[in-house]
Amino acid sequence: MNLKRNKESPESDELNGVSPFPDEVLERVLSLLKSHKDRSSVSLVCKEWYNAERWSRTHVFIGNCYSVSPEIVARRFPNIRSVTLKGKPRFSDFNLVPMNWGADVRSWLDVFATAYPFLEELRLKRMTITDESLESLGRKFPNFKALSLLSCDGFSTDGLGAIATHCKNLTQLDIQENGIDDLGGGWLSCFPENFTSLEILNFANLNSDVNFEALERLVSRCKSLKVLKVNKNIMLDQLQRLLVHAPRLMELGTGSFLPELTACQYAELESAFNNCKNLHTLSGLWDATTLYLPALYPACTSLTFLNLNDAALQSGELAKLLAHCPLLRRLWVLDTVEDRGLEAVGSSCPLLEELRVFPADPFDQDIVHGVTESGFIAVSYGCPKLHYVLYFCRQMTNAAVATIVQNCPDFTHFRLCIMDPGQPDYLTNEPMDEAFGAVVKTCTKLQRLAVSGLLTDLTFEYIGNYAKNLETLSVAFAGSGDWGMQCVLSGCPKLRKLEIRDCPFGNAALLSGLEKYESMRSLWMSACNVTMNGCRLLAREMPRLNVEVMKDEESEDSQADKVYVYRTVAGPRTDAPPFVLTL
Amino acid sequence: MEGVVGITGVGGVGGGGGGVSSGGSTSGSMSTVSKEDNLVMASEVSSYPDESELELGLGLSLGGGGGGGKAVTVSWGQFARILTAKDFPSVVSHCSASSSSSSPSSSSSSSLSKANFSAGTKRRAESVAAAASGVNQVVGWPPIRAYRMNSLVNQAKSPATGDFNSTVEKSKSKNSVVEKTNIASEKYNGNAKEKRHIRTSSFVKVNMDGKPIGRKVDLTAHNCYEALAQTLEDMFCKSTTFNGRRSSGGESDVMIGARRPSKLLDGSSEFVLTYEDKEGDWMLVGDVPWGMFLSSVKRLRIMRTADANGLAPRVQERNGKQRTKPI
């Protein structure tokens, strides 16, 4: 890099902290930095670099919307065009956080309206956004281009209509898995007839019908459309018509694959897929069966990401499909594919890096199906590059996990969910300690770990001793006492997020992490043994942390049922609802 | 029936309200229960002897009963466990009659309740027993996003009584599409509107007498009884002797086709295929048109012919007869 060349600068300049470069040059150089971690590092070098960095930053990522206030952000970064905000604790996805908890983007948008009138992109995860906010996005930000909402709530399809109506330059509308009030599909018809800039459109998780003719016209006039994910109300013949208009799609989410076509229509569909040579991501496929899946095959040659979460395929169907996806790197499936399906994964996908297996029927106790440890083992033999796994199963053994990590030592994300809480190794009846011990000992690059099954303190000792790169840990129904959590807090230097539920960790454990929490994004503990007094003590000792407690109905006064601790420079929340007690 | 009255008083917000109901906060769970659910539960609840179970059951199961046909069970926070239609098969079919919140005692609801009295009781016991163990008891477990959970609940087999609550998306009602899926060769008439009512793939449980472990079969992947029976024979064929004999009767279809009439259907094997319909009655498979079967079947059972005596008269009649093809 240029920086090293300037050795002829007088020592005194450097000692005085004056940068050898004019600010403009430094800013220009730093503007090339994209990673926010790099930018954070750069900003710590010296004052000049701090300033150069803040002026050159165009995208800000805020992992916890309450860790900082919008005013502080606006003051520090004057030129932001793109904002990513995350709000609620992750366990809100599983209904552990009551409604109206907060994380409303409104206060942010109010500040942005004056500070960043040229804001272009907004990506929200687990935030609340109202229709009014969506409308104001459309009206107050003339350059607004990209909206992505994941796991958000508070809005309805009317808000989407407002975006479609007002955002003349919209390129991305990505609506995923939100608690949206679906009032109908009319929002799509709000895109003006002269609107052509759309590149990404994802409404796969909306349930009501859009006007198909409007959609077809939209797709045909948006020549730059790269990503199209429709909902399951779009039928195959309609999909075929869309594909004809957009053969250059890179990511496709189909609608329903219900086999209702005539032979002629089927041929047209095949031909349409045949023309999609640029597809690298495929999803949707509701109701897909062996009957019509073959139509897809020609489009799968370049596929790198296949999301079959909505297609309850059987093992044979999956095997046949995978035979046509040699370049697959990421695969999401339902456990209807069973172990045999996973064997097919192992044999057909040598380049696989990520596998997620979701349960089709998480609550069905009496039927034994789904995947077991054998499926996982089969994948590990066939896919040595596997580094990300999310695996829901009903049985697992320590030996199996040991084999798996031996085959795939490069795991960065290992999320194993044995669905029956506290279930031991089903062959030996022992705790699953050794399984996770093997994971942390072997997988030195491990960043994210989710544990399950019957676990004693030993698991946490292992984690504390070996998981030196661990950043995120999720624990449920595990542990024997405070010691386990203490091991983790004292042993994992890079820990940023710790989320715990239903574990016997109490005040001693909570308080052992006093200094640690300031280096972490957040801590969540619910249904543990922490008391109000313990939380108060924590709050008193660490003023730069927000310690928030939510009590369940009918719990004893001293119990702190749900505890959420996070570092912040913004002080206690001003918008906390009554059930959130800030200590 | 006092229990019922008491709960009716709590009544209030329909369980299916919007996509987001107030889950978990304080006294949320009871107050978000719909009246209709309460009354529908009456017949089963009142027969339930244990008072504490009664309360527990109501607190929990109303979450489930309401959720059987609707998407919002999962957001009932702290108290409700997430039940699926399968836990309350008889109840779910009545919940769908809850579109009019003002008259839960509509004739359909009450007559159905009566019909299900005994069947409902038994199933209630089963489901509570199921609830007593493992994953079903815990809120937010397994850790699957609430949105996904809603999709799964709606994908689970739920009987189509057609009369869905307005908050249940149209796409869940399956009546109009069921017939279409059967008729592979029928020309698509181009009317996009009819295509709206899609039923997501429906798996029903199949148990076979003598085998402890059941399976699941996707009904929408079949278009006729023969196909279904064939699949079932393949599934369970390891330890049973169906001994099919070749016959020329099989129709070849575009969809998963049957190769020959199934022993299961013609009564010549030691087992016979039966199903439980939405009213809780066990019927022989094959009597009604396929589409009607699809809309009323809750689960299947491969029963020993000897045990099928309650239905037996038909078995004898069927011997050797060709199955009538579904419409």
Contacts of A417 in chain B (CB under 8 A): 142-143
Contacts of B27 in chain A (CB under 8 A): 553
Residue A364 forms contact with B (CB below 8 Å): yes
The answer to which of A289-298, A363-372, B79-88, B242-251 has the lowest mean pLDDT is B242-251
Going by pLDDT thresholds of 50, 70 and 90, the confidence category of residue B241 is very low
The answer to which of A446-460, A525-539, B173-187, B235-249 has the lowest mean pLDDT is B173-187
Residue A214 forms contact with B (CB below 8 Å): no
Q: Do A177 and B220 make contact, defined as CB atoms within 8 angstroms?
A: no
Please state the rounded mean pLDDT for residues B320-327: 40
The two three-digit tokens of residue B203, written as one number: 């798996």
pLDDT at residue A536 greater than cutoff 80: yes
| C-alpha distances out from residue B33 to A316, A368, A405, B40, B120, Å | 42, 32, 47, 12, 20
The two three-digit tokens of residue A414, written as one number: 């290992």
Phi and psi angles of residue A549, each rounded to the nearest 5 degrees, phi first: -125, 140
As a residue count, chain B comes to: 327
Q: Do A209 and B170 make contact, defined as CB atoms within 8 angstroms?
A: yes
Q: Do A421 and B192 make contact, defined as CB atoms within 8 angstroms?
A: no
What's the CA gap between A460 and A448, in Å, rounded?
14
Contacts of B216 in chain A (CB under 8 A): 361, 367, 369
Burial class (CB in 10 A: 0-12, 13-18, 19+), A360: buried
Chain A: give the shortest CA distance to residue B280, in Å.
19
How much is the pLDDT for A326?
94
Q: Do B78 and A552 make contact, defined as CB atoms within 8 angstroms?
A: yes
How much is the pLDDT for B311?
62
pLDDT at residue B261 greater than cutoff 80: no
Residue A235 forms contact with B (CB below 8 Å): yes
Report the first-to-last Cα separation within chain A, whole angstroms: 48
- Mean pLDDT: which of A7-11, A406-410, B168-172, B231-235 is highest? A406-410
Chain B: give the shortest CA distance to residue A420, in Å.
5
Name the residue in chain B with its Cα closest to that of A181. B19
How many CB pairs lie under 8 A apart between chains A and B?
179
Which of B60, B59, B4 is CA-nearest to residue B36? B4
Chain A: give the shortest CA distance to residue B55, in Å.
16
Going by pLDDT thresholds of 50, 70 and 90, the confidence category of residue B100 is very low
| Residue B95 CA to its chain's centroid (Å) | 12
pLDDT at residue A423 greater than cutoff 90: yes
Burial class (CB in 10 A: 0-12, 13-18, 19+), A169: middle
How much is the pLDDT for B237?
66
pLDDT at residue A429 greater than cutoff 50: yes
Q: Do B142 and A93 make contact, defined as CB atoms within 8 angstroms?
A: no
- Mean pLDDT: which of A339-343, B63-67, B193-197 is highest? A339-343
pLDDT at residue A575 greater than cutoff 80: yes
Contacts of A364 in chain B (CB under 8 A): 84, 86
The answer to which of A382-386, A389-393, B31-35 has the lowest mean pLDDT is B31-35
DSSP class per residue in B112-156: HHHHTHHHHHHHHHHHHHHHTSGGGGSTT-S---HHHHHHHHHHS
Give the residue with greater pLDDT, B176 vs A490. Answer: A490
Structure pTM? Answer: 0.68
Give the residue with greater pLDDT, B295 vs A69. Answer: A69
Going by pLDDT thresholds of 50, 70 and 90, the confidence category of residue A108 is very high
Check the CA dihedral A235-A240-A241-A243 and report its sign.
positive
Give the residue with greater pLDDT, B228 vs A12. Answer: B228
How much is the pLDDT for B43?
39
Closest Cβ opposite residue A417 in set B28, B133, B143: B143
Chain B: give the shortest CA distance to residue A27, in Å.
42
For A212-257, the pLDDT digits (tens) are: 999 999 999 999 999 999 999 999 999 999 999 999 999 999 999 9
pLDDT at residue A114 greater than cutoff 60: yes
pLDDT at residue B31 greater than cutoff 80: no
How much is the pLDDT for B267?
66
Cis geometry, peptide bond prior to residue A493 (ω within 30 degrees of 0):
no
pLDDT at residue B109 greater than cutoff 60: no
How much is the pLDDT for B25?
39
How much is the pLDDT for B155?
58
What's the CA gap between B230 and B244, in Å, rounded?
10
pLDDT at residue B10 greater than cutoff 60: no
CB contact at 8 A, B155 and B202: yes
pLDDT at residue A459 greater than cutoff 90: yes
How much is the pLDDT for B149?
75
Chain B: give the shortest CA distance to residue A254, in Å.
14
pLDDT at residue A542 greater than cutoff 80: yes
Going by pLDDT thresholds of 50, 70 and 90, the confidence category of residue A180 is confident
pLDDT at residue A487 greater than cutoff 60: yes
Give the residue with greater pLDDT, B110 vs A59. Answer: A59
Mean pLDDT (chain B, rounded): 51
How much is the pLDDT for A230?
96
Residue A286 forms contact with B (CB below 8 Å): yes
Name the residue in chain B with its Cα closest to that of A150. B147
Please state the rounded mean pLDDT for residues B173-193: 33
Going by pLDDT thresholds of 50, 70 and 90, the confidence category of residue B180 is very low
Going by pLDDT thresholds of 50, 70 and 90, the confidence category of residue B202 is low
What's the CA gap between A205 and A199, in Å, rounded?
18
Please state the rounded mean pLDDT for residues A269-286: 94
The answer to which of A577-581, B20-24, B296-300 has the lowest mean pLDDT is B20-24
Chain B: give the shortest CA distance to residue A101, in Å.
10
pLDDT at residue B213 greater than cutoff 80: no
Going by pLDDT thresholds of 50, 70 and 90, the confidence category of residue B307 is confident
For A502-512, the pLDDT digits (tens) are: 999 999 999 99
pLDDT at residue A498 greater than cutoff 90: yes
Q: Do A208 and B24 make contact, defined as CB atoms within 8 angstroms?
A: no
How much is the pLDDT for A113?
96
How much is the pLDDT for B7?
34
Report the first-to-last Cα separation within chain B, whole angstroms: 44
Residue A114 forms contact with B (CB below 8 Å): no
Kindly state the percentage of chain A with pLDDT values over 90: 82
Residue A429 forms contact with B (CB below 8 Å): no
How much is the pLDDT for A22?
80
Mean pLDDT (chain A, rounded): 92
How much is the pLDDT for B6?
36
Chain B: give the shortest CA distance to residue A156, in Å.
10
What are the DSSP E strand ranges found in A182-243? 200-202, 227-229
Please state the rounded mean pLDDT for residues A536-557: 91
Please state the rounded mean pLDDT for residues A131-139: 95
Name the residue in chain A with its Cα closest to that of B126. A366
Q: Do B201 and A259 make contact, defined as CB atoms within 8 angstroms?
A: no
Dihedral class, residue A502 (left if φ above 0, else alpha if ψ from -120 to 50, else beta): left
Q: Do B145 and A99 make contact, defined as CB atoms within 8 angstroms?
A: no
Type of residue at B224: C
How much is the pLDDT for A131?
95
pLDDT at residue A330 greater than cutoff 70: yes
For A558-569, the pLDDT digits (tens) are: 899 999 999 999
DSSP class per residue in B219-236: GGGBSSHHHHHHHHHHHH
Give the count of beta carbons closer than 10 Å to the beta carbon of residue B324. 10
The two three-digit tokens of residue A518, written as one number: 């300031």
Q: Do B201 and A286 make contact, defined as CB atoms within 8 angstroms?
A: yes
pLDDT at residue B263 greater than cutoff 80: no
Q: Do A237 and B188 make contact, defined as CB atoms within 8 angstroms?
A: yes
Catalogue all structural domains in chain A, each as residue range(s) with its CATH number: 1-57 (1.20.1280.50)
Please state the rounded mean pLDDT for residues B27-48: 39
Q: Do B146 and A179 make contact, defined as CB atoms within 8 angstroms?
A: yes
Check the CA dihedral A399-A404-A407-A408 and report its sign.
negative
Give the residue with greater pLDDT, B76 vs A17. Answer: A17
